[in-house]
């Protein structure tokens, strides 16, 4: 059983050559459960949603084929186009803030190697917090009368105008508050991943550059950041996909969902409400397909970006 | 002098990071045990002078224990099934040069970027027709769609790192391949399994959209749904919702802390291959 004996034995290929069952059938037997889930729970719904998007679907009933009418409807719907634009701005803000903060945190962890182990556990902790719970806590912290955020802004930063400021009465400040909550939730995973990537960049190249008199900033900009660039691209992709799909924080933090007056409606929320509050599955399916196409385009774009880096 | 200054700045930054990571947890806990007269103050009180557990005892008399159990059943089922399915598939992808493996990789990657909204409607109809609305089975199945992609990749990369010679040695000693897989590869893949379990458990425990759509009866509701509904109707009862949030948060945090070491390894190896 010990690994050392295997190399010494002659004909180490033989156990594999005998059984075609083990070569041909075993991998597929092992893959079957995964394939069943992928086909049944993912593949079928995707195809079905695309099919539904070309059909009338009021009251969650399958209606007649209506071609692109659902797509025309949603792009003629001012709430939908507003949500599309709002989600894009929101995603851009979340991704930019997440990547910058995560990089900063990863660099701090990297600069304190002895404490990094414990620190990275604490940094990752918010990722584990249920989004519903964190949405509620952040809403409480942004409370107009008793919230810590307003108190901090007034008493520490001297911004008197935030005295009793109501964050959720209009759209823009509500979006700012939700952005803060979502960023708090998405930074941990990205920061710890980037930290793991940065740790792999302490090598001979960095040592050589240091000997040649490069300072820490030059080493970071010219050597270490380019080395983790593929990872940065992956993290940007992941956080873009997450941000575009944001749902929980919006459902929890706004009353009524997407309110006040539709001013915080984002794509996922609008799609879900369209399907399960308005009961119009055709329109909702069209919205879902458009979001899927957008996310695919974003992913392809990032993959391209990554490939050009390598070249 | 400059190095001292630099150290000071570094520790200041570390302090800021720790504070912003932990403060919401602290604030949730503190709010849940403050009596109302300490809760609603213009100047926030960071120290509780007369803590109360009344809200917890009140909650525990209500529906929360049932909802907690529902959440636990679904999350544990999702975690176990994810581990099993991803381990088998990860092994097949790590050890065999399948001609279809590129297609397989792309398919799994695509499942990872699918918006939940593209799955939610057909699964609703499917579950309704199969009588699986308001059942643990339905919700668990839908959660598998969210966890399997990443976990299969994680386990594949762990199994790739297990030397194939170990398996061969066992087979030379007369074990069948299946036996070699079961008694050698799977035990060694355990750190990967731990990492993917945290991911699966947290994903399932925290998931809201599918849960809110497929679990609509109060006796079968899971915690995220119950908490969201309670909050939207009684959002001025801040102490109560905070206590419920604490109950909701504790299991994931405990599970996370138990297995965090493996999770970090998993993320580090993922980052290297990035």
Task: Decide: B17 and B3 in contact? Cβ < 8 Å.
Answer: no
Instruction: Please give, rounded to a whole number of angstroms, the shortest distance from the CA of B78 to a CA of chain A.
Output: 12
The answer to which of A63-67, B145-149, B239-243 has the lowest mean pLDDT is A63-67
Residues 94-113 of chain B whose Cβ lies under 8 A from any Cβ of chain A: 95-96, 98, 104, 107-108, 110-111, 113
Residues A132-171 have pLDDT tens digits of 999 999 999 999 989 999 999 999 998 888 988 999 999 9
pLDDT score at A5: 40
Residues 6+ apart with CB under 8 A from A50: A285, A289
Q: Three-class SS of residue B147?
A: helix
pLDDT at residue B271 is higher than 70: no
pLDDT at residue A11 is higher than 50: no
pLDDT at residue A24 is higher than 60: yes
CA angle, residues B114, A124, B13, in degrees to nearest 5: 130
**pLDDT-above-70 percentage for chain B:** 96
Compute the distance between CA of residue A49 and CA of residue A287 in angstroms, rounded to an integer.
10
pLDDT at residue A287 is higher than 60: yes
The pair of three-digit structure tokens given for residue B158, joined into one six-digit string: 């762990």
pLDDT at residue A54 is higher than 70: yes
Query: Cβ separation of B92 and A30 shorter than 8 Å?
Result: yes
Instruction: Choose the closest CB to B111 out of A38, A132, A295.
Output: A38
Query: Cβ separation of B121 and A268 shorter than 8 Å?
Result: no
The answer to which of A27-31, A46-50, A194-198, B169-173 has the lowest mean pLDDT is B169-173
The answer to which of A89-93, B60-64, B85-89 has the lowest mean pLDDT is B60-64
pLDDT score at A14: 47
Q: What is the dihedral of CA B16, B18, B24, B29, to 10 degrees?
A: -130
Q: Is the ipTM of this complex over 0.85?
A: yes
Tell which residue, B143, B44, B11, B160, has the closest CA to residue A41. Answer: B143
B182 vs A178: which has the higher pLDDT = A178
Instruction: Please give, rounded to a whole number of angstroms, the shortest distance from the CA of B165 to a CA of chain A.
Output: 6
Q: B-chain residues within 8 Å CB-CB of A128?
A: 202, 252-253, 255-256
The predicted model gives B57-79 an average pLDDT of 93
Compute the distance between CA of residue A127 and CA of residue B206 in angstroms, rounded to an integer.
10
Instruction: Please give, rounded to a whole number of angstroms, the shortest distance from the CA of A289 to a CA of chain B.
Output: 7
Torsion region of B198: left, alpha or beta (phi above 0 gives left; psi -120 to 50 gives alpha): alpha
Tell which residue, B147, B157, B259, B120, has the closest CA to residue B206. Answer: B147
pLDDT score at A12: 45
Interface test with B, best of A27, A105, A282, A293 (most B CBs within 10 A): A27
Instruction: Please give, rounded to a whole number of angstroms, the shortest distance from the CA of A58 to a CA of chain B.
Output: 13
Q: A203 at the B interface (CB within 8 A)?
A: no
pLDDT score at A9: 42
pLDDT score at A277: 92
pLDDT score at B222: 94
pLDDT at residue A15 is higher than 60: no
* Angle in degrees, 0-180, between the axes of helices B223-233 and B238-273, rounded to the nearest 10: 140
Residues 243-272 of chain A whose Cβ lies under 8 A from any Cβ of chain B: 244-245, 247-248, 251-252, 255, 267-268, 271-272
Residues B89-126 have pLDDT tens digits of 999 988 887 777 788 888 888 888 899 999 999 999 99
pLDDT score at B131: 94
The pair of three-digit structure tokens given for residue A225, joined into one six-digit string: 């950041």
The answer to which of A3-12, A112-121, B32-41 has the lowest mean pLDDT is A3-12
pLDDT score at A309: 54
Residues B165-214 have pLDDT tens digits of 888 888 888 778 888 888 888 888 888 888 889 889 999 999 999 999 99
Q: Three-class SS of residue B237?
A: coil
pLDDT at residue B265 is higher than 90: no
Q: B22 at the A interface (CB within 8 A)?
A: yes
pLDDT band at A1 (very low <50, low <70, confident <90, very high): very low
DSSP B45: P
Mean pLDDT of chain B: 88
pLDDT at residue A178 is higher than 90: yes
Residues A233-268 have pLDDT tens digits of 889 998 999 999 999 999 999 989 988 989 999 999
pLDDT band at A19 (very low <50, low <70, confident <90, very high): low
pLDDT score at B230: 87
pLDDT at residue A16 is higher than 60: no
Q: B173 at the A interface (CB within 8 A)?
A: yes
Closest chain A residue to B236 measured between Cα atoms? A140
Q: What is the SS3 string spanning chain A?
A: CCHHHHHHCCCCCHHHHHCHHHHHHHHHHHHHHHHHHHHHHHHHHHHHHHHHCCECCECCCCCCECCCHHHHHHHHCHHHHHHHHHHHHHHHHHHHHHHHHHHHHHHHHHHCCCCHHHHHHHHHHHHHCCHHHHHHHHHHHCCCCCCHHHHHHHHCCCCHHHCCCCCCCCHHHHHHHHHHHHHHHHHHHHHHHHHHHHHCCCCHHHHHHHHCCCCHHHHHHHHHHHHCHHHHHHHHHHHHHHHHHCCHHHHHHCCCCCCCCCCCCCHHHHHHHHHHCCCEHHHHHHHHHHHHHHHHHHHHHHHHHHHHHHC
pLDDT at residue B143 is higher than 60: yes
Distances (CA, A) of B111 to A121, B46, B73: 28, 44, 24
DSSP H helical ranges for chain B: 2-33, 36-39, 54-60, 64-95, 101-113, 117-129, 136-160, 164-172, 177-180, 186-188, 190-206, 209-214, 223-233, 238-273
Residues 136-155 of chain B whose Cβ lies under 8 A from any Cβ of chain A: 141-142, 144-145, 148, 152
CA angle, residues B203, B132, A128, in degrees to nearest 5: 10
Mean pLDDT of chain A: 88
pLDDT band at B31 (very low <50, low <70, confident <90, very high): very high
In this complex, how many residue pairs, one in chain A and one in chain B, have their CB atoms less than 8 Å apart?
289
Instruction: Choose the closest CB to B209 out of A128, A231, A272.
Output: A272
pLDDT score at A59: 82
**pLDDT-above-90 percentage for chain A:** 61
Q: A26 at the B interface (CB within 8 A)?
A: yes
pLDDT score at B269: 65
Residues A113-134 have pLDDT tens digits of 888 888 989 999 999 999 999 9
């Amino acid at each position: 059983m010990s690994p050392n004996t295997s190399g010494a034995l002659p004909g180490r290929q033989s156990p594999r050559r005998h059984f075609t069952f083990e070569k041909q059938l075993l991998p597929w037997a092992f893959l079957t459960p995964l394939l069943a889930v992928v086909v049944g729970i993912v593949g079928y719904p995707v195809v079905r949603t695309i099919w539904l998007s070309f059909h009338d679907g009021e009251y969650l009933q399958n209606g007649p084929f209506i071609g692109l009418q659902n797509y025309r409807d949603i792009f003629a719907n001012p709430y939908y186009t507003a949500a599309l634009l709002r989600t894009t701005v929101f995603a851009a803000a979340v991704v930019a803030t997440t990547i910058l903060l995560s990089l900063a945190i990863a660099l701090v962890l990297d600069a304190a190697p002895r404490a990094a182990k414990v620190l990275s556990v604490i940094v990752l902790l918010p990722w584990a917090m249920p989004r519903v719970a964190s949405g509620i806590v952040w809403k409480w912290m942004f409370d107009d009368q008793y919230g810590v955020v307003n108190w901090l802004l007034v008493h520490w930063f001297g911004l008197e105008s935030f005295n009793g400021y109501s964050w959720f009465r209009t759209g823009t400040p509500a979006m700012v508050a939700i952005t803060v909550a979502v960023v708090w939730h998405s930074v941990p995973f990205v920061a710890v991943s980037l930290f793991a990537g940065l740790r792999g960049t302490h090598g001979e190249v960095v040592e050589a550059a240091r000997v040649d008199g490069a300072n820490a900033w030059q080493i970071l900009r010219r050597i270490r950041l380019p080395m983790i660039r593929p990872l940065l691209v992956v993290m940007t992709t992941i956080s873009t996909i997450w941000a575009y799909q944001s749902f929980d924080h919006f459902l929890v933090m706004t009353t009524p969902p997407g309110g006040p007056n539709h001013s915080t409606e984002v794509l996922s929320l609008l799609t879900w409400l369209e399907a399960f509050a308005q009961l119009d599955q055709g329109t909702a399916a069209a919205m879902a397909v458009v979001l899927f196409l957008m996310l695919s385009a974003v992913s392809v774009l990032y993959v391209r970006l990554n490939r050009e880096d390598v070249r | 002098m400059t190095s001292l200054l630099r150290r000071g700045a570094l520790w200041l930054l570390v302090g800021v990071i720790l504070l912003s990571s932990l403060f919401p947890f602290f604030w949730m806990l503190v709010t849940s045990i403050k009596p109302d007269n300490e809760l609603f103050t213009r100047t926030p009180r960071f120290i509780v002078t007369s803590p109360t557990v009344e809200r917890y005892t009140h909650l525990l008399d209500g529906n929360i224990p049932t909802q907690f159990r529902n959440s636990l059943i679904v999350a544990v089922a999702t975690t176990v099934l994810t581990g099993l399915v991803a381990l088998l598939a990860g092994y097949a992808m790590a050890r065999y040069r399948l001609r279809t493996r590129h297609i397989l990789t792309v398919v799994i990657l695509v499942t990872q970027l699918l918006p939940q909204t593209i799955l939610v409607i057909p699964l609703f109809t499917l579950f309704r027709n199969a009588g699986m609305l308001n059942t643990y089975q339905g919700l668990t199945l839908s959660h598998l769609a969210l966890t399997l992609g990443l976990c299969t990749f994680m386990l594949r990369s762990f199994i790739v790192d297990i030397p194939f010679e170990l398996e061969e040695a066992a087979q030379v000693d007369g074990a069948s391949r299946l036996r070699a897989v079961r008694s050698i590869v799977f035990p060694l893949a355990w750190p990967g399994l731990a990492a993917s379990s945290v991911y699966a458990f947290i994903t399932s425990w925290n998931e809201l959209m599918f849960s809110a759509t497929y679990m609509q009866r109060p006796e079968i509701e899971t915690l995220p749904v119950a908490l969201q509904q309670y909050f939207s109707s009684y959002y001025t009862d801040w102490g109560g919702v905070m206590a419920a949030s604490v109950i909701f948060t504790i299991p994931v945090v405990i599970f996370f802390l138990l297995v965090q070491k493996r999770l970090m390894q998993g993320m580090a190896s993922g980052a290297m291959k990035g």
